[in-house]
Structure 1
């Protein structure tokens, strides 16, 4: 009987155990296996201490001084926890902002849809919300979004054929903008809407004068380079530093 059951307790070559080991090795080589238990042990210990110490302290205050002391201690711990969470959130926001960067080469190599995608990611990075595309007519698409103060944004694009790709003429050119970017119908605007035209090239003098008359902001190639490199759009367009809170959630 032992000769029958002994092979069942072993894992010879080619069994499921070896297959799992091979899969684990592949995951480790690709960096997808995840942390080991000894790597998460310090964080887990800190988490337990972060829960146990406040509870022990509140219990001690209740027993020695009374319920009012425990309540005061709970308020202090809640305020401290909120400060830690906000600080951590600001750090994550800064890290996310630093990771969303582009170069002019990437902009030039992108087609129309890619150009709009880059601009949309930059808007989200800078804190604009509900950023979405709105089709105006045919292939013309504007981006719209909401600012932190309720300001509505309408953003349009134009690019000359000479800026359509690294070699020139390699991508379809965005149509020139002849009017201010449109906002969706039925949108209730708060503060004065912000209309922006972004170009990977330069603007002619007539276009600059048109923008000044119609209160449209222009982002040319040099400003686009600064925006894509990490500068906030609100700072770039001098919208007011009070509206710029890069570390806000």
Structure 2
């Protein structure tokens, strides 16, 4: 019988060991069996134990008991999956953050996209852009959790995109509040915003107070983009009644 001995350097086994060592050093080598064994055991237990329980009920109690247990198990699994999805979706929404530097560096389209993501983060649904005139002005519209309709218009600062100074906004001719799409009912709970990357002139503040339009200036935008909810930012109440903005 041949005696066992180590493989000399330069053999295929030595090359394999060296290659495995290099992979481990680069973090590209897969896990060892003892690292994945607990996951396999948990998977087998998660599948095998319910099946064993159903089989026991079928043999000892009856088919109806096994059927009821299977229905209860399916309901519990579905509830757990939906809860997990809701938690992940909430975490993704809460991760939406912007800085004023990002806002200033964005063009008009990117600015609208940022505001749209903030709205979705805060729970507004059906958020989309709507062209409101022949000049190509686009407003955002959406729906709140309570059914409140939303319309958002935009104004930028004096400097061009990418060079925002944070000074007073160069106001565009937004004569009315942001418009809702054709066929949308602007009910008593409709909310209209004008979001600016700068500040608002006194005449614009007076106009907004008379028409029931909410203004979001640079300071409020910073708080909103940093994570504060829009309803908290504007101190909104679901029972607010907005007068006609025409």
Verify same fold: TM over 0.5: yes
| Matches of 2:199 and 2:111, distance apart in 1 | 16
Cα RMSD, aligned residues only: 3.5
Corresponding position: 1:149 with 2:162 = no
| Matches of 2:188 and 2:81, distance apart in 1 | 31
| Superposition map of 1:194-209 within 5 A | 194-209=191-206
Structure 2: unaligned runs, 5 residues or longer: 1-18, 240-246
Which of residues 82, 86, 95 in structure 2 aligns to 1:86?
82
| Matches of 2:39 and 2:173, distance apart in 1 | 55
| Matches of 1:92 and 1:70, distance apart in 2 | 33
Task: Report the counterpart of residue 51 of structure 1 in structure 2.
Answer: 47
Task: Report the counterpart of residue 158 of structure 1 in structure 2.
Answer: 155
| Superposition map of 1:222-237 within 5 A | 222-237=219-234
| Matches of 2:76 and 2:48, distance apart in 1 | 15
| Matches of 1:40 and 1:191, distance apart in 2 | 58
Q: Report if aligned partners of 2:138, 2:153 keep a CA contact under 8 Å in 1.
A: yes
Q: Report if aligned partners of 1:163, 1:200 keep a CA contact under 8 Å in 2.
A: no
Corresponding position: 1:115 with 2:111 = yes
What is the CA-CA distance between 1:191 and the residue it aligns to?
Answer: 6.2
SS at match of 1:51: helix
| Matches of 1:231 and 1:50, distance apart in 2 | 40
Greater relative contact order (Cα 8 A, min sep 6): structure 1 or 2? Answer: 1
What is the CA-CA distance between 1:139 and the residue it aligns to?
Answer: 3.6
Give the length in aligned residue pairs: 213
| Matches of 2:197 and 2:138, distance apart in 1 | 16
TM-score of the pair, normalised by structure 2: 0.71
Task: Report the counterpart of residue 94 of structure 2 in structure 1.
Answer: 98
C-alpha change, 1:95 and 1:178, in structure 2 (3 Å) is: same
| Matches of 1:207 and 1:34, distance apart in 2 | 63
Task: Report the counterpart of residue 221 of structure 1 in structure 2.
Answer: 218
C-alpha change, 1:168 and 1:234, in structure 2 (3 Å) is: closer
Larger helix fraction of residues = 1
Structure 1: unaligned runs, 5 residues or longer: 1-20, 243-249
C-alpha change, 1:61 and 1:239, in structure 2 (3 Å) is: farther
Q: Report if aligned partners of 2:178, 2:194 keep a CA contact under 8 Å in 1.
A: yes
Q: Report if aligned partners of 1:211, 1:217 keep a CA contact under 8 Å in 2.
A: yes
Q: Report if aligned partners of 1:100, 1:230 keep a CA contact under 8 Å in 2.
A: yes
